[in-house]
């Protein structure tokens, strides 16, 4: 197994887990159940860790595939630049997840509502950017997406 294999295996985890955790966080927000918050916060932390692994295996994957016929260097570069931003959003969201796990154990803590709204907005932005990054990654090899 090489970096390209590992990258292809782990790259879906941060996207799917961030989206799933966003929906769990929304369910907790509207139902008021703290258990949902905890699940979402843990999901954001795990997604951030996988985003880091995905990003760093991407460089090795690029080295493997960039000289293979049929791969677009521009598509790889576009995906890589988007991945840098997506990783940053995922890490920030993971830090918020840690904050939610350790600091906001009780709803009555001052600033809780603001924290939740910021986390929700950040989770939406991170999810959107992770999806966009995944789409750009798909353009590298999936010719059915490019029409080529």
What is the CATH topology of the domain spanning 3-146? 1.20.120
Distances (CA, A) of 67 to 1, 45, 71, 146: 19, 35, 7, 19
pLDDT digit of tens for each residue in the chain (148 aa)? 887 788 888 999 999 999 999 999 999 989 988 889 999 999 999 999 999 999 888 888 877 777 776 677 788 889 999 999 999 999 999 999 999 998 877 666 777 888 889 999 999 999 999 999 999 988 887 655 555 5
**pLDDT given for residue 58 in this prediction:** 85
Cα–Cα distance, 10 to 51 (Å, whole number): 8
For the chain, give every domain's residue range: 3-146
**pLDDT given for residue 112 in this prediction:** 81
Cα–Cα distance, 12 to 50 (Å, whole number): 9
Question: Is 104:112 a contact under the CB 8 Å cutoff?
Answer: yes
Q: Output the pTM of the full model.
A: 0.88
Distances (CA, A) of 5 to 33, 55, 70, 74, 139: 39, 13, 18, 21, 17
**pLDDT given for residue 138 in this prediction:** 84
Question: Is 124:22 a contact under the CB 8 Å cutoff?
Answer: yes
């Amino acid at each position: 197994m090489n970096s390209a294999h590992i990258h292809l295996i782990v790259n879906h985890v941060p996207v799917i887990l961030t989206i799933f955790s966003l929906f769990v966080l929304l369910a907790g927000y509207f139902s008021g159940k703290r258990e949902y918050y905890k699940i979402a916060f843990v999901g954001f932390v795990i997604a951030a860790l996988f985003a880091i692994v995905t990003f760093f295996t991407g460089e090795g994957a690029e080295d493997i595939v960039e000289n293979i016929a049929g791969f677009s260097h521009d598509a790889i570069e576009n995906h890589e630049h988007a991945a840098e931003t997506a990783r940053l959003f995922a890490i920030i969201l993971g830090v918020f997840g840690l904050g939610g796990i350790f600091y906001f154990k009780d709803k009555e803590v001052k600033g809780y509502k603001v924290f939740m709204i910021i986390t929700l907005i950040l989770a939406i932005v991170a999810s959107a950017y992770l999806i966009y990054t995944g789409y750009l990654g798909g353009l590298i090899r999936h010719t059915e997406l490019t029409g080529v």
